[in-house]
Amino acid sequence: MEKQARRAQVLRHAKRIFARKGYHRTNVADIISRARIARGTFYLYFENKKDLFEELLEQVLRELAVRIHRIRIGPGEPEPADQLRANLRRVMSFVLSERDLTNILLSHALGFDPELDERIQTFYDRIAAQIQRSLDLGITMGLVRRCDTRTAAYCILGGVKETIAQLSRQAPPDIDGLVEEILRFGLSGVARPELLETLRNIGEP
């Protein structure tokens, strides 16, 4: 498994450089000098520069997707709000542990290849759709106020993305507190006003 290790090594270095300089300002020369391999070795492990970049991108998308669980309703399932909280925590802690990957996704992924743009857009759209479905479900269950859930979904997604962007820029604060703050912001926003009295206590002792 030496070979895989070497490959992972190159990926690790490339990740860091791509995160700092973006795709276009990163040369293959940069990567190989950091990874201390020869030019040809690079092409032994990766089809080309774009291929490597895409692999990193796929990696973030995959890892993020894994951490976002569908909200489940039913006996034995945690409270929806708790499921949301868990989702956010998983995402946030991943972001913190993989700032470079996050940075690549947020700052350098968009706009350099139509196909890849599509790929990313689809990823976000899927998440937005998932949020929207949860909201629709919440309305049915009487937990969420009536609203344009599509717009609300994008507002929530956007809010999370922006907070994450901040997170990847600055020293990592108290994740749990941050998550609570976002949750409260989001929930109070979409919850049915009549239920606000009840929901207000979510996440508080």
Partner DNA sequence: GATGAATGAGTCTTCATTCAT
Partner DNA sequence: GATGAATGAAGACTCATTCAT
The minimum distance between CB 21 and DNA, in angstroms, equals: 10
Q: How far apart are CA 147 and CA 166, in angstroms?
A: 28
Provide the mask over 171-200, with x wherever binding to a second copy is found by CB under 8 A and - wherever it is not: ------xx-xxxxxxxxxxxxxx-xxx-xx
Helical H segments across the chain, by residue range: 2-21, 28-35, 39-45, 49-67, 80-97, 99-103, 114-140, 149-169, 175-190, 196-199
| Residue 38 partner contact from a second copy, DNA, none using kind-dependent CB cut-offs of 5 to 8 Å | DNA
Binding of DNA at residue 33 (CB under 7 A)?
no
Provide the mask over 129-168, with x wherever binding to a second copy is found by CB under 8 A and - wherever it is not: ------x--x---xxxx-xx--xx-xxxxxxxxxx-xx--
Binding of DNA at residue 13 (CB under 7 A)?
no
Largest interatomic CA distance in the chain? 65
Q: Which long-range contacts (CB under 8 A, 24 or more apart) does 37-41 make?
A: 37/6, 37/10
The minimum distance between CB 49 and DNA, in angstroms, equals: 4
Binding of DNA at residue 6 (CB under 7 A)?
yes
1 vs 4, 8, 41, 42, 56, CA distance in Å?
5, 11, 17, 17, 20
Q: How far apart are CA 150 and CA 139, in angstroms?
A: 13
The minimum distance between CB 59 and DNA, in angstroms, equals: 19
Note the residues at the interface with a second copy (CB under 8 A).
Answer: 22-25, 81, 85, 106-108, 110-112, 117, 121, 135, 138, 142-145, 147-148, 151-152, 154-163, 165-166, 169, 177-178, 180-193, 195-197, 199-200, 202-204
Note the residues at the interface with DNA (CB under 7 A).
Answer: 2-3, 6, 26-29, 37-45, 48-50
